[in-house]
Chain A
Amino acid sequence: MRSKTKVSAGNRLITVLVFGVVALALYPLFRWAVIDAVWGNLGPEACKETFGACWPVISEKGSLIIFGRYPAAELWRPALASALLLGTAIVTAMPRFWNKALLLAWIAAPLLFLTLMGGGILGLSSVPSSQWGGLPITIMLSVFGIGCAFPLGILLACGRLSSKPVIRWVATSYIEAVRGVPLITVLFMATFILPLLLPSGWNISAMVRAQVAIILFTAAYLAEVVRAGMQTVPKGQFEACEALGISRFETYVKVVLPQALSMVIAPTINTFVTVLKDTSLVAIVSISELLMTARQALADPVWRTHFIEVYVFIAVIYFVFCFAMGKWSKSLERAYIFSKGRE
């Protein structure tokens, strides 16, 4: 009892010290972002007098940063489209909703997204994909990227562990080849080399090429994560299935993969986070995702000096998504490992 109070006193001291140091370190930031900051919907002159943040730049440029050059009168369309896609992704993140209806949602959501964004039917005016931009693009590239790369990664992982040499060889070469090059290279190849390889009549939009590049690239990484998980499944699990007469396919679907995936929840979601952040690289092939629209906003000479505020703004957006995925990872681990008495 005595030693316990001693420990907790020591703990309290450490807690206070840590909080103190963190508060000291963060105070200047807080001062810049809140105390000395200029708020509201004002002109650039309002910020002349202060050393703090100039948030009017966000109220002025926020819609350009978030929606890019999408026609201003139609902004409800990218907003609704993003919400639909994000909603589908969030529902999918909760395994208790995994059923046939969700599968249909995964067919409907992309179609609705593209219809809303592109228009041209149902009385929606047509908006070419070169005018799409900002957060909807980041969400689209991430959600489609993760949603397609994940099943593909599982297939590749199974291929790499297959007993058939041809399948094993194809999967292994693919994974090694893709992991051997940076995403930027893949994006460049998809943008500049792919059109040369395709028959001349074919014209695939830059957006589709970038999306495909992200999917193919991510799949190779996920394949390795999933494979690591499958290797933690003991041989006895396969033998138990064999002895019960369960087919090889069903053994993988019902027994091996559920265990394998639950062993690699953290690295899998880590890869998802990387996908979200890597979408910013498509700016290189002139697609206006969030980072690109932020830079476009700063092209305005009047506001150019307030680049820090703009980058902080998009950093906060990225952070919210990444933080949410981290929380999701934790809750999945709780549901799939700890609550089942597995260590």
Chain B
Amino acid sequence: MLETAITLQNVDKFYSDFHVLKDVNLTVRNGEKLVVCGPSGSGKSTMIRCVNHLESHQAGSIHVLGVELNDDVRNIAQIRKSVGMVFQQFNLFPHLTVLENCTLAQTLVSRRSQDEAESVAMELLTRVRIADQARKYPGQLSGGQQQRVAIARSLSMRPKIMLFDEPTSALDPEMVKEVLDVMGELASDGITMVCVTHEMAFARSVADRVIFMDHGRIVEENTPAEFFDNPAEPRLRDFLAQVLH
């Protein structure tokens, strides 16, 4: 088995002439839980969206599970099969039931039979504690429930890596915990996780490593304990002062 799940080497990314990611280097080990934080606009979303090629990079190289992300569509397809993503806005399919949300990609992409897809989906919905809502539509669920469905939907592809882009930022405070609990359980199952979040308690308890981004660069990376208790970088200290207040 490969030692590293994700490698970014000297990655540069531009939106027309706006330099978003500047010479980003990052290695994520297999099974590692990495938390990414940083001020708004620092390029956190852009970086993790490069990992499953929702965005393309202009220079440097990105390897995911040993496959290089380039313009070869087969590589992109292969990588997307093993990388799941959870979005801030859930992005569930509103015209499909919770169960159908979790079976669609299984039948279309993994070519599983309807029965098999449904049993996989029910197992995952049980795991995120929402199996009783399987026949409802996303519009009939609370934000926290929707986000748990979105996690189950991603997991239905049996990914080896999960990317989370601020999964709790769009939630009312009382629903944050139910989603973080599910993510914490997922973390203990040994999956590789990269999570953009400002939930510092979650980062402390779950992350193996925390990185801090500012203006398109990774400016500090450390174990959670060192990261929060001994921040070296002044910008990180300011940032922590703001989010922890």
Contacts and interface: CB of A to CB of B under 8 A. Distances in A.
B140 interface: yes
Contacts of B143: none
A341 B140 contact: yes
A245 B137 contact: no
Contacts of A239: 54, 87, 91
A241 B52 CA distance: 12
Given A240-B93, A340-B94, A246 B137 contact: no
B244 interface: no
B91 A236 contact: yes
B80 A237 contact: no
Contacts of B153: 244
Main secondary structure of the interface of A (DSSP, over half): helix
B105 A262 contact: no
7 contacts: A237-B91, A239-B87, A242-B80, A244-B84, A244-B109, A255-B95, A259-B94
B38 interface: no
B180 to A, nearest CB: 21
B105 A245 contact: yes
B67 interface: no
B54 A242 contact: yes
A211 B153 CA distance: 46
A247 B107 CA distance: 12
B139 A341 contact: yes
Interface string A241-257: 11111110010001100
Contact of B52 (A237, A243, A250): A243
B77 interface: yes
Nearest to A258: B95
B157 A255 contact: no
Contact of A240 (B87, B136, B137): B87
A342 interface: yes
B216 interface: no
A342 B54 contact: no
B108 A254 contact: yes
Interface in B67-117: 77, 80-81, 83-85, 87, 89, 91-95, 104-105, 108-109
B138 interface: yes
Interface of B: 52, 54, 77, 80-81, 83-85, 87, 89, 91-95, 104-105, 108-109, 136-140, 153-154, 157
Nearest to A262: B95
Contacts of A234: 89, 91
- Residue of B83, B94, B109, B154 most packed against chain A (CB within 10 A): B94
B139 A342 contact: yes
Counting from the closest, the 3 A-B pairs by CB-CB distance are A341-B139, A341-B140, A236-B91
Nearest to A253: B108
A336 interface: yes
B89 A236 contact: yes
B157 A341 contact: no
Contacts of B104: 244, 246, 254-255
Contacts of B95: 255, 258-259, 262, 336, 340
A223 B93 CA distance: 23
A243 B54 contact: yes
Interface in A64-122: none
B137 A244 contact: no
B27 to A, nearest CB: 22
Contacts of B93: 237, 240, 255, 259
A236 B80 contact: no
B157 A244 contact: yes
Contacts of A339: 137
A245 B91 contact: no
Interface in A225-281: 234, 236-237, 239-247, 250, 254-255, 258-259, 262
Contacts of B105: 241, 244-246
A255 B104 CA distance: 10
B87 A236 contact: yes
A232 B158 CA distance: 31
Given A237-B93, A339-B137, 11 more contacts: A236-B89, A239-B87, A241-B105, A242-B54, A244-B105, A245-B105, A247-B108, A258-B95, A340-B137, A341-B136, A341-B138
A13 B40 CA distance: 58
B67 to A, nearest CB: 14
A341 B109 contact: no
